[in-house]
Amino acid sequence: MRRDYYIFSHGRLKRKDNTIYFIDDIDNKRALPIEQIDNIHLFGEIDINTKLLNYLAQYGVMLSFYNYYGYYSGTYYPRKKNVSGFTTVHQSYFYIDYDRRLEIAKAFVYSAIHHILRNMRRYKEKIKDDLIQEIECEKENIDKVKEIDELMGIEGRIRKKYYSSFNDILKNGFTFEKREKRPPSDPVNALISFGNSIMYTSVLSEIYKTQLDPTISFLHEPSTKRFSLSLDIAEIFKPLIIDPIIFSLINNRVITKDDFKIEGEICFLSESGRKKFISEFEQKMSTTIKHRKLKRKVSYRTFIRLECYKLIKQFIGDEKYKPLKAWW
């Protein structure tokens, strides 16, 4: 079974015969058999060459790069093998037809809110009831929305209320005043930004394995500098996967304030903190749930791929898209 590899040290990635090797800056060598690699995430300063990139492209392996602070910089995205002009044309049509675009965008937001409320209800003895009710009221306004900007506004207000509940959920001296992305200035913001980066690249990896075009999105405006469909689908999975990981890491004292660094106005995870987060993330992504329709166990990672397939079915007219709403 193929899996993701995370490299935190500085060094070189090179191909020798049919194996990828990572050689760190003190010449320790580690083999990464190509058949076992799904994606490689590079957090250190890594030297690579075209021989390596060409070999990775043969196997559809993506390289994701993260900056000094651990935040996502970009992805080496090999030429897609699963391509379909038919699907791309129909995906584009759903973007161009504003009503159809809005319908899909609403589906993403409904799913995100479902998972936000699911998290809050798990801590309902600590969270004020009126906060959950306020989010429910905001949710009722979605049907009336006629513009994407209005929809984003509702989603933004809901997230603000949701984030205000974090102080009731988190323990061990961690507090959260407000969401700050550029740059994150406290440990909780640093965890959210790091987790969202990992979620974004994981979604992009699953899109790559399907016939979807990652640049044609519906909730977020398509851009020349990002795979915006990944942002759309990640909205579903951030509250389902990333936020519970943050709650668990903090409340169970797996991550402490010693796992963060502050330089100027930027707060970020140290290498030890990143490793702890990634360990929990990979464990979560491999966790399986009995799928009600497929009648078999499905991992969280597979749920992301299934979401892509459901979108394709909508685009080609097979089945109306119904976003994931966790029932477990």
| Annotation: binding site for Mn(2+) | 155, 220, 235
Rounded alpha-carbon distances, angstroms, from residue 272 to 13, 16, 74, 275:
22, 30, 22, 5
Binding-site residue ranges:
155, 220, 235
How far is the C-alpha of 203 from the C-alpha of 241, rounded, in Å?
12
The Cα 310–Cα 320 span in angstroms is 8
Q: Who's near 271: CB < 8 A, 6+ residues apart?
A: 8, 43
Cα separation, 20 vs 2, in Å, equals: 14
Say if residue 183 is preceded by a cis peptide, omega within 30 of 0.
yes
DSSP for 60-85, please give it.
T-EEEEE-TTS-EEEEE-PPPSS--H
Question: How many other C-beta atoms can be found within 10 angstroms of the C-beta atom of residue 236?
Answer: 26
